[in-house]
Every structure is written in C-alpha cells, then in structure tokens.
Structure 1
Amino acid sequence: MWNSIVRHHIRTVVIVTLVVNLLVVALSFIPGYVGELPEWITRLPLFNAVMNSLTFIFLLGALLAIINGNVKIHRRFIYSAFITTTFFLVSYVTFHFMAESTPYGGEGFIAGFYYFILITHIVLAAIIVPLALMSFFTGFKDMRPKHRKWVRWTMPMWLYVSFTGVLVYVMISPYYSF
C-alpha cells in the first residue's frame, strides 16, 4: 500500500488535503457535545499546543540539519514533525467535534491582534496541508530540485502555523469555560 501511495503521491496529496480540510470545515457546522465535557477532552487544547510546540522545534531542527548538510538528521526531524502534526490533527478534530467554539474575550488592540493571528493561522493551516505533503513526497522520492522548490514555501509557512497555533492557545485559554 505504501508503495502505491508514494508512486501516486499527487493523487494522495489531493485526497488527503480534501479530506483533512473538509473535515475541519465540517466541524465548524456541527453542534458541540451537550452536557459536561469529559475531563480528557478539556485537556486537548493544551495537548494541541504541546504538539504544535514540538512540531515547531522539530522543523527548526530539520532546517538547521539541512543547512549543515546532514540529510539523515533532517529526515528524522521531518518525520518527527509529521508525527506530532498528525497527533495534533487527531486531537484537534476530536476536541472540535466535542466542544463548542470558545469566543475570545479580549478587547481593543489585543483583540485585533488575536483575530489577525487566528485568521492567518487558519488560512495558512489549510494551505500547508498540500505543501507539506508535496514537500514530504518529493524529499522521500529524492526529487531534490522539486523538493527545494516546495520547501522554499512550505518551511516558513509551517513554522508560522505551528508557532501561531501555540500563540492562539495562549491567548484563548483564559476564556475556556469548561
């Protein structure tokens, strides 16, 4: 199966991108769980922030490794970033399936800053799915010229998305009501 996924990586990227992004959008329209949330659900936003933090660290490690010409270490950091991102995605989907959205309670400049960060984070998170996957597959298949073209855009966006994911959590967490 893995060989088929790799051989048809463009089809894989399109399917995974559509599934992930449509699932996240669909969660916006599904009403949250009625009643008191299980305690483990209330811990998921913190878990998400930890996974985003680890992803950010792994991406920085991957960047430093490749700058220093260490492809083996670069790959390990990228695989780690994909693992933490996958854990984040599963946790994020689980949380947003169960919990209602939390409104931001700040005012003035800080509210404008929060919404700017949130909106750019959401838009780039949707865009990063196909970019990260194309970067992964072109790297995995050792298509270096194409890989470099993809990661020129992917790496800064993915770093931004993982960092702002933590920032959004820090800013919204005081307003959680569970």
Structure 2
Amino acid sequence: MNQQVKQRNYTPIIVVLTIVINLLVAVLYFMPKYKGLGDINLTFLPFFNAVMNSFTFIFLVAALYSIKQKNIQRHRRYIFAAFTTTTLFLVSYVTYHAMAPSTHYGGEGILRPIYYFVLLTHIVLSAVIVPLALITVTRGLNMQVDKHRKIARWTMPLWLYVSLTGVIVYIMISPYYS
C-alpha cells in the first residue's frame, strides 16, 4: 500500500517557534520577576518540571523501542506524547522563571563543577533541540523517511540527554530551593 502524504512546508513554523521559545527562555534570565499574583506558592513547579522531563525521557525511549520494532504508529504516539510533556514542561518552566526568584546551587567540592557542566550542556542542547525536534517530527509527518532517519539519529540522543539532564539538574539543585 503506497500512501501519498501531502507535503507541507513547516519551515516558517519551525523558524518562528525556535526563535520565540529560545528568546523567551533567554529573556526570562534577565527579566525582573513579576510579583503581581501575591503569595502564590510556585515551589511545586520545579518538581513538576522534573516529572515532565522524566515522562519525556520515558516516552522517547518507548518511541525508540517502537521504531526498532518497526511499529510506526506506536512510535508516532510516543513521539507526540514526548512533545506533549515537553510542552507542559516549557509552560511550567516559563511560568516559574517569570515569577520566582532564581535559585543558586549551593553544593561544594567535586559536585559543583559536575553540576555546572551538566547545567551548561543541558542549557546549550535545550536550545539546539528545539529546531532539531521540530524538523525531525515534520519530516516524519511528511513521510520523508530517509531525511527523517538522518536527522533523528542526532535528535533522539540529544533529546534524551536534555530530558535526562533536566531531571539531574533538578535533583542536584532541589535542596537549595527556598
């Protein structure tokens, strides 16, 4: 059965989303915190973020396993689940960092450089994974299988790394949340 898929040009959406998401996260770092909602307790959001990153990691592993089993439908469902949890993470992350004060890592000794290495690689690769994941999924949606496979070989391990290191960063910094 030869399925004909209508080819869509997702490039403008990918470019806009990449710029908006990465710019928004960068601006949050320098922006003063919004204090208009009073004493709303947002301390649950970093844990929620770690949970969403955990689910993303699990969904990506399941998607990888599914495609190795040549189950495209299940692979696609897990990828959409990973996008869903990543989106929930992003909304929560933006909310928290727009309204809560920054938390500084208080660890010492060998853990300090390890934490900053993991954090730095996580941040840099988070910016990179936005366009990679979007390009990869749109090539899959357009059934451009060869192009999808080529970029997925880079996207999958990087996205797995970003989601896993998000959890590791949370675990390492969580004792220092006020």
TM-score, normalised with respect to structure 2? 0.93
- Aligned residue in 2 for 1:110: 111
Map 1:17-166 → 2, pairs under 5 A: 17-34=18-35, 37-39=39-41, 41-166=42-167
Question: Shift in Å at residue 100 of structure 1?
Answer: 1.6
Match of 2:167, SS state, is: helix
Aligned-partner Cα distance in 2 for 1:128–1:37: 34
**What residue identity is the alignment partner of 2:70?**
G
More helix by share: 1
- Aligned residue in 1 for 2:3: none
Asked if 2 retains the 8 angstrom alpha-carbon contact of 1:49 and 1:165, the reply is yes
- Aligned residue in 2 for 1:3: none
Could you give the per-residue CA deviations for residues 86-128 of structure 1, whole angstroms, max 9, x where no partner exists?
A: 0000000000000121010001210000000000000000000
**What residue identity is the alignment partner of 2:43?**
T
Asked if 2 retains the 8 angstrom alpha-carbon contact of 1:56 and 1:162, the reply is yes
Aligned-partner Cα distance in 2 for 1:10–1:28: 28
Aligned-partner Cα distance in 1 for 2:68–2:168: 27
Asked if 1 retains the 8 angstrom alpha-carbon contact of 2:136 and 2:155, the reply is yes
Asked if 2 retains the 8 angstrom alpha-carbon contact of 1:33 and 1:100, the reply is no
**What residue identity is the alignment partner of 2:113?**
G
Structure 2 portions without partners, runs of 5+: 1-6
Asked if 1 retains the 8 angstrom alpha-carbon contact of 2:45 and 2:93, the reply is yes
- Aligned residue in 2 for 1:173: 174
Aligned-partner Cα distance in 1 for 2:120–2:39: 26
TM-score, normalised with respect to structure 1? 0.93
Asked if 2 retains the 8 angstrom alpha-carbon contact of 1:49 and 1:169, the reply is yes
Could you give the per-residue CA deviations for residues 21-49 of structure 1, whole angstroms, max 9, x where no partner exists?
A: 0000000111224597512x211100000
Match of 1:90, SS state, is: helix
- Sequence identity percentage: 59
Aligned-partner Cα distance in 2 for 1:57–1:46: 17
RMSD: 1.3
Asked if 1 retains the 8 angstrom alpha-carbon contact of 2:8 and 2:142, the reply is no
Count how many residue pairs are aligned between Structure 1 and Structure 2. 171
Aligned-partner Cα distance in 1 for 2:54–2:138: 24
